[in-house]
Chain A
Amino acid sequence: MIRLQGIRKGYAVAGGRVEVLQGIDLDIARGEFVAITGPSGSGKTTLMNLIGLLDVPDGGRYLFDGRAVDDLDEDTLARLRNRRIGFVFQSFNLIPELSARANVELPLFYAGLPPAQRRHRAALALDAVGLADRAEHRPAQLSGGQQQRVAVARAVVLNPDLVIADEPTGNLDPAAAEQVMALFERLVDAGKTLVLVTHEAAVAERAPRRIHLREGRIVEDRRA
């Protein structure tokens, strides 16, 4: 599903350049559940952005589902993200002006689905995360856990192959975190590939495969 070969990525900062990723080789098979851990600044989020096609590497090769994505144009990348990848963020990233349903409809909107279909599929996705009765609530009217479940519904509403979660439980209390993790495990059971970035050991423990990053390199790749 994902093949990274010698991936490098750096950023210009005041007074020089920081090499965040310094040669990453990584294969992730379809249906795998991988946790990426590492201290702050180790490059977890940068790696996640590259895998999620939100950013392009400076060097190396990235094959997404067997297809080289290094030289794809912006629109094609947007289309790939739309159809093949779902994102869940630490801070939920729901649009505050939109209802839970409208937030879940966003990917469907950009996929060009007609309104009736969007409504229907968003309702199904919200039902699957147990929030069918909160569809018309604004994010501010929902708890953190509920907001993150809306975000999960949004991530999977177009039935992507890959779900990428960046510290999805970072802002949640233990009970809410548990609910969200249970949702993720259901996704994996349904055959989706899940890449989960976390610094919480307890969360990482639940993944069969754990990759540890330090200073831009993979220092550990362990399968349970």
Chain B
Amino acid sequence: MLERADPLLLRDHLAQVAMVLRANRLRTAVSILGVALGIAALLIVQVATDAGRRVVFAELETYGLTTLWIFRDWQQDRPSVKRPGSGIDNDDYAAIRRSACCPDVRRYSAVVYPQNWMVELVAEGRLSQSSVEGVDVDYLAINNDRIVSGRGLRPLDIRQRRPVAVVGPVVRERLFGTRPAVGRTLRFGQVQLTIVGELAHKDRSLLAAIGATQGYDVNNRVLIPYTLYQQLMGGTRDIQTLQAEAVSVARAEAAGQEVVRFLTRRHHGRYRYTVQSMKSWIDTAERILGVITSVGMVGALVALVVGGMGILGVMSTAVVERTREIGLRKAVGARRRDILAQFLAEAAVIGLLGGLAGLTLGLVALVGARLWTGFWFLPGPGQIAIAVAVALLTALAAGTLPARRAAALPPAEALRHD
């Protein structure tokens, strides 16, 4: 006679919970709203920082995250020992490529450019102010440059100083409009260059917007063999910048040090060198994104705490208001865990409804953000799952205290309550 059937079916329980929540619409709605705001904030922060990270890193990728720039450090020279030259010449370049000095470097490219960055290019009666850089074969790979038509520079182009060029999309557009550039020629000073390839467009609009590109338009570039450029400059053997690609972001700094050590030793310390890497950019981006994430998370947390407090308040009031009901339920056989389950189920339903409302709210906000900024932010399934789980956990955490209080009420005392 005292044996007990299995625990109650969840469906029945939820049906009862639904009835009680429906009977307390206003209080339920306020709690749901609190959780919803928290979840919406959480979702937006998650999605926005994720999207921000993608956008920022996509632009940093246009430099190559593992790219190093090694060049003579003019500022560290003592004025009394003025030495000419860029500190890196063709012999150094050939030597370092043969040497096993730098295990953390994957490949190199010489970069040769004039004092005056911008030069005049002419083709078919049209003019373009662009930058011309003398580079080596591996330059494209190091800089994550893609060829959209034609080809890149080849070893033979370099060795024979062929008058060939690879042009950026802005150059092509200015000189030829929408017509293909490959196969046409352009005039650079006294030289006719044959265009053999066209570079893909690179997006650095965000970095340009914050002034990080210093007016340099990566799409307004013409690449020619560095050997050719040296010849055009009057037969110099100087290389202004040595570009290198480290084997990984983590090894980039070590790679730079290896190259500098090699060059310093080769020149017996006559020149000082400086290395630029993407590390400071990556660190800055991470730091900014970290701050944005923290601020957003704190905001979301505050909203969630408010939502949780709402649930706590609503449930505490409910427990007090329903003390007699709890007494009655216990009188007719409810055990402590039945009452606990009932109130936790109510909290869970509020949490889930709040989570779903928050997702809806967040999605509406993200669609609004798309209309406003043009960036398409969408939450992934993981982020949605996190949001719902956080809503549920918040509700359960907030509901635990009142639920335990309700479950612990002595029946006789609860029934006396009025």
Q: A residues within 8 Å of B by Cβ?
A: 45, 49, 52, 54-55, 74-76, 78-84, 87, 89, 93, 95-98, 102, 106-107, 109-115, 154
Contacts and interface: CB of A to CB of B under 8 A. Distances in A.
A54 B331 contact: yes
Interface string B335-355: 110100000000000000000
A79 B333 contact: yes
B100 to A, nearest CB: 77
A173 B98 CA distance: 110
A109 B22 CA distance: 20
Given A54-B411, A115-B12, A83 B19 contact: no
Contacts, number: 88
Select the residue from B324, B328, B330 with max chain A CB neighbours within 10 A: B328
Interface size class of B (residues with CB under 8 A): 20 to 34
Interface of B: 1-2, 4-9, 12, 16, 19-20, 22-23, 324-325, 327-336, 338, 410-412, 415-416
Contact of A81 (B4, B324, B331, B410): B331
B5 A95 contact: no
Contact of A112 (B8, B16, B325, B412): B8
Is chain B's interface secondary structure helix, strand, loop, or mixed overall? helix
A189 B333 CA distance: 25
Nearest to B3: A79
B21 to A, nearest CB: 9
B1 A55 contact: no
Contact of A97 (B7, B8, B19, B410): B19
B322 to A, nearest CB: 9
A80 B338 CA distance: 15
B411 A55 contact: yes
A98 B19 CA distance: 7
B103 to A, nearest CB: 70
A115 B7 CA distance: 13
Given A55-B411, A95-B325, A83 B336 contact: no
Contacts of B6: 112
B332 A107 contact: yes
Nearest to B413: A55
Given A55-B411, A55-B412, A89-B415, A110 B331 contact: no
Contact of B8 (A54, A83, A98, A109): A109
B12 A87 contact: no
B333 A82 contact: yes
Contacts of B9: 114-115
B334 A78 contact: yes
A107 B329 CA distance: 8
B229 to A, nearest CB: 85
Contacts of B415: 49, 54, 89, 93
The 6 closest A-B pairs by CB, nearest first: A82-B333, A112-B5, A110-B333, A55-B412, A97-B23, A49-B412
A106 B334 CA distance: 9
Contacts of B332: 81-82, 87, 106-107, 110, 154
Given A95-B328, A97-B20, A112-B6, A83 B333 contact: yes
Contact of A80 (B2, B7, B22): B2
A9 to B, nearest CB: 10
Given A74-B336, A78-B335, A113-B5, 13 more contacts: A54-B327, A54-B410, A55-B410, A78-B330, A78-B336, A81-B333, A83-B1, A95-B328, A97-B22, A98-B19, A110-B332, A112-B8, A115-B9
A154 B331 CA distance: 11
A110 B334 contact: yes
Nearest to B24: A97
27 contacts: A52-B331, A54-B331, A55-B411, A76-B2, A78-B336, A79-B333, A80-B2, A81-B333, A83-B1, A83-B2, A83-B333, A87-B331, A87-B332, A89-B328, A95-B328, A97-B19, A98-B16, A102-B19, A107-B333, A109-B8, A110-B332, A111-B333, A112-B4, A112-B5, A112-B7, A112-B8, A115-B12
Nearest to A87: B331
B99 to A, nearest CB: 80
Contacts of B338: 110
A115 B331 CA distance: 21
Contacts of A98: 16, 19
Contacts of B331: 52, 54, 81, 87, 93
A105 B99 CA distance: 88
B412 A75 contact: no
A106 B329 contact: yes
A82 B2 CA distance: 9
A111 B332 CA distance: 9
Contacts of A76: 2
Contacts of B327: 54, 93
A94 to B, nearest CB: 8
B324 to A, nearest CB: 6
Most buried by B among A97, A102, A106, A114: A97
Contacts of B410: 54-55
Given A49-B412, A80-B2, A82-B333, A109 B23 contact: no
A93 B327 CA distance: 9
